[in-house]
Amino acid sequence: MIVGYSAQAGAYAPIWITKDAGLFRKNGLDVNLVFIPGGPTAAAAMVAGEVQAMAMAGPAIVASNLAGSDLVMTAGIVNTFAFQLVTVKSITTASQLRGKRIGVNRFGAAPDVAARYALNHLKIDPREVTILQLGEQSTRLEAMKAGQLDAAILLPPITTMAQKDGMNILLDMSELGGEFLITGMASSQKFLTQNKPAAARLMRALVEGIHYFKTQRRDSEKIIARYMRTDNLDAVAATWEYFAAKIVPRKPYPSVKGVKALLDLAAKDRPEAAKAAPERFINTTLLKELDDSGYIDGLYR
């Protein structure tokens, strides 16, 4: 089975850990874990049948499904805007962002959606800034250091590195309290139907990976450091504390309210999104079967 992930960010730690801790193999799966950057690209790979499952951004699944695909979220890893708006040292207030350059990975991907939401929250029209797509977080941070960006949407551990360079966290969006299905596991309905035994084993491996992430801190941090290609132990520790202890749920149900929030945002450009039922974009059958059996609760006893 080919399983992908769409960003080198702490939100994707559970899928890295599931792979490197041998939990796919434990559940009878031979998984090739591949990096496919950007939610829209990841969604296209699943539609083409090149990948069976993806840890990826919710906004891209919503957009792909609205366009006619059968892609759905099967688990919710991050059900809130767990992004941070980071600015260069000279910018300390929201009003200073007007006329400035803000970096995201790709237009339509989760950081892009987050940037526009953050700006609206700060009472700034996104048209008052220039939003640039610059790829991965490390690239965005380097662009800020070089004076090519004034702000960027980032996640730990990159945010910790940015703070060490004197930059500011202008807004921690996780503290806003809103539900948004930002990151989760996705598959096509066709794959879930035609390959249910394998899909069920994949779900069991993921919940075991989340349990490992939450309970095996040292080993999890080693895996995070490897995937993030960093030896900054403070940054890796901050990633674990932010995601394992604060953001990622034990039972990774995709938030229905979180999907509705993404549809409301999408409706500004695609009116048909306002009429779509949130349940259309999720399939929790396998997760619920696992939960109802008591398996997830048993992991934490």
Look up residue 27 and give its amino acid.
N
> So what's the pLDDT on residue 223?
97
Q: Strand, coil or helix: what is 169?
A: strand
Angle (CA) 40 44 46, round 5°: 120
Domains and CATH numbers, the chain: 2-79+181-299 (3.40.190.10), 84-176 (3.40.190.10)
Is residue 175's pLDDT more than 90? no
pLDDT confidence bin for 138, thresholds 50/70/90 = confident
Give the residue carrying structure tokens 């080993």: 219
Sheet strands side by side (includes 151-154):
130-133, 101-104, 151-154, 84-87, 168-172
Question: For residue 154, what pLDDT is reported?
Answer: 92
* Cα 181 to Cα 178: distance, rounded to the nearest angstrom: 10
What's the pLDDT at 278? 95
Convert the pLDDT of each residue in 222-267 to its tens digit.
999 999 888 888 889 989 998 999 899 999 999 999 999 889 888 8
Predicted TM-score (pTM) of the model is 0.84
Per-residue b/e over 284-296, b at no fewer than 16 CB within 10 Å? bebbeebbeeeeb
The predicted pLDDT at position 248 comes to 95
What was the pLDDT predicted at 155? 84
What mean pLDDT is reported for the chain? 93
Query: Do the Cβ atoms of 267 and 273 come closer than 8 Å?
Result: yes
CB 255 within 8 A of CB 77: no
Q: Which of 113-122, 152-161, 183-192, 223-232 has the highest mean pLDDT?
A: 183-192
- DSSP secondary structure letters along 39-88: HHHHHHHHHTTS-SEEEEEHHHHHHHHHTT--EEEEEEEE-S---EEEE-
Task: Tell me the average pLDDT across 159-185.
Answer: 89
Model confidence pLDDT, tens digit, residues 16-65? 999 999 999 999 999 999 999 888 899 999 999 999 999 998 989 999 99
**pLDDT beyond 80 at 218:** yes
Whether the per-residue pLDDT at 82 is higher than 90: the answer is no
Residue 110 has pLDDT above 80, yes or no: no
Paired with 4 in beta bridges are: 34, 54
Would you say residue 195 has pLDDT above 90? yes
